[in-house]
């Protein structure tokens, strides 16, 4: 059963200080899913009324985007913001971004006279005062960070079923289950048998890790990549950090070296490598260089690590001539002095001196 059969979004902006929105679900009749209200910051309060109306629409669609993506919805509004946005000729950067963002969504627009939209009007005029925030700052476009994901896997039933199926097909898991059943009648003698008997148990024919009263389903080796994908790469996972991914996995599942495997999986994630911010290291003050001829002075930098290519390359050696600004990049498997010197000698010094 779908959560929303036909989402119905009603953003509203009529107070010059606040914006509101209501998300409905249409099943025979409209049912409220969520309310939202937020104050414009000081900069946004200076916008033209048409810009504020556009901003209210963009803010509402962004706030409820997880519900609206990949499905058609109805946008009900009492203003002409979308018509104004599509007709304006001199589009500044922020207006262009708003237009492109709305074009990515599939929706129909229904004009509702102001007298018929009492609920958003009431929210915009009677919501409690709150501190002003920079919730929608157009001058800062930040990539995803490694904090708490906006959405998290809350239902792992289907994944647990896959893990149980994998246990029935995994020879090592079946051998462990059989040995545990045998040890019910015979005391374990070897050290590994004692550890198996202490920390593992079988329930309904499946292997569980048992510690401090908790039971966590054991994940065979062949299914671990699938589990890590669901908790890190899937649409509702949010690409959290390795520590956060490992912690949430351990709440439900168990296998040895979970932390190590998760860190390796996150390092190989292409989206994280492309988008996530890295804490910048302050650069020491440098004197300007003024070379007098080509390749008198070069700048060398290392980029990476990136997910390994078919040839095992994970780094890029970037060489820039400071006189001509000529740039060359060479792939590398390892980031060490030996590899860097060899590439410079073979590719740069041998050709340019």
Residues 95 and 192 in one domain: no
- What are 1's two structure tokens? 């059963």
pLDDT at 163: 92
Residues 265 and 304 in one domain: no
Residue 288 lies in a domain: no
C-alpha to C-alpha distance for 341 and 338, rounded to whole angstroms? 5
Domain boundary among 275, 310, 329: 275
Of 32, 50, 51, 52, give the one whose Cα is nearest residue 40.
52
Residue 135 contacts residue 225 (beta carbons within 8 Å): no
DSSP character string of 307-340: ---TT---EEEEEEETTT--EEEEEES--SHHHH
Q: Would you give the DSSP letter of residue 142?
A: P
Residues 115 and 189 in one domain: no
- Kind of pairing, strands 327-332 and 200-203? unpaired
pLDDT at 266: 92
Residues 176 and 232 in one domain: yes
pLDDT at 149: 42
C-alpha to C-alpha distance for 36 and 10, rounded to whole angstroms? 10
* pLDDT interval class at 218 (50, 70, 90): very high
Residue 107 lies in a domain: yes
Residue 69 lies in a domain: yes
pLDDT at 180: 80
List, in order, residues 6 or more apart from 19 with CB less than 8 Å away.
11, 12, 13, 37, 38, 39, 40, 52, 55, 56, 59, 60, 124
Task: State pTM to two decimals.
Answer: 0.41
Residue 141 lies in a domain: no
Residue 80 has pLDDT above 70, yes or no: no
- Kind of pairing, strands 29-39 and 18-27? antiparallel
Residue 189 lies in a domain: yes
Residue 89 lies in a domain: yes
Q: Which helix (H) or strand (E) holds 249?
A: helix 242-250
pLDDT at 70: 77
pLDDT at 231: 92
Residue 38 has pLDDT above 80, yes or no: yes
Residues 86 and 195 in one domain: no
Residues 211 and 242 in one domain: yes
264-293: pLDDT as tens digits: 999 999 888 877 666 666 766 666 667 888
Q: What is the mean pLDDT of the chain?
A: 77
155-168: pLDDT as tens digits: 577 889 999 999 99
Residues 257 and 342 in one domain: no
pLDDT at 280: 65
Domain count, the chain: 3
* pLDDT interval class at 12 (50, 70, 90): low
C-alpha to C-alpha distance for 217 and 163, rounded to whole angstroms? 8
Residue where the block lists tokens 């109805």: 74
238-247: pLDDT as tens digits: 888 899 999 9
* pLDDT interval class at 94 (50, 70, 90): confident
Residue 283 lies in a domain: no
Q: What percent of the chain has pLDDT over 70?
A: 73
Residue 10 contacts residue 76 (beta carbons within 8 Å): yes
202 lies in which domain range? 157-275
């Amino acid at each position: 059963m779908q959560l929303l059969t036909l989402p119905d979004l009603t953003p509203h902006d009529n107070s010059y200080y606040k914006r509101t929105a209501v998300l409905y679900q249409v099943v025979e009749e409209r049912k409220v899913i969520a309310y939202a209200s937020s104050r414009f910051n000081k900069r946004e309060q200076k916008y033209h009324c048409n810009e504020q109306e556009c901003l209210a629409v963009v803010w509402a669609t962004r706030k409820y985007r997880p519900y609206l993506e990949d499905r058609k919805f109805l946008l009900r509004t009492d203003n002409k913001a979308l018509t104004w946005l599509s007709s304006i000729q001199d589009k500044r950067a922020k207006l262009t971004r708003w237009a492109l963002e709305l074009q990515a969504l599939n929706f129909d627009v229904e004009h509702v006279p102001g007298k018929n939209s009492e609920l958003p009007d009431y929210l915009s005029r009677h919501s409690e005062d709150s501190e002003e925030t920079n919730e929608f700052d157009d001058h800062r476009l930040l990539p995803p960070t490694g904090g708490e994901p906006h959405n998290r896997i809350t239902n792992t039933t289907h994944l647990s079923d896959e893990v149980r199926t994998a246990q029935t097909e995994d020879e090592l898991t079946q051998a462990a289950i059989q040995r545990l059943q045998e040890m019910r009648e015979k005391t374990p003698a070897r050290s590994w048998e004692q550890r198996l008997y202490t920390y593992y148990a079988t329930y309904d024919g499946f292997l569980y890790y048992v510690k401090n009263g908790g039971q966590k389903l054991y994940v065979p080796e062949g299914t671990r990549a699938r589990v890590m994908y669901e908790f890190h790469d899937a649409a509702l996972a949010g690409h959290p950090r390795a520590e956060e991914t490992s912690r949430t996995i351990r709440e439900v599942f168990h296998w040895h070296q979970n932390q190590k495997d998760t860190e390796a999986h996150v390092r190989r994630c292409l989206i994280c490598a492309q988008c996530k911010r890295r804490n910048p290291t302050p650069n020491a003050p440098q004197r300007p260089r003024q070379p007098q001829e080509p390749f008198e002075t070069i700048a060398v930098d290392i980029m990476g690590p990136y997910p390994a290519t078919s040839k095992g390359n994970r780094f890029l050696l970037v060489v820039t001539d400071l006189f001509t600004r000529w740039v060359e990049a060479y792939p590398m498997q390892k980031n060490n002095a030996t590899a860097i010197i060899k590439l410079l000698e073979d590719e740069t010094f041998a050709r340019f001196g």
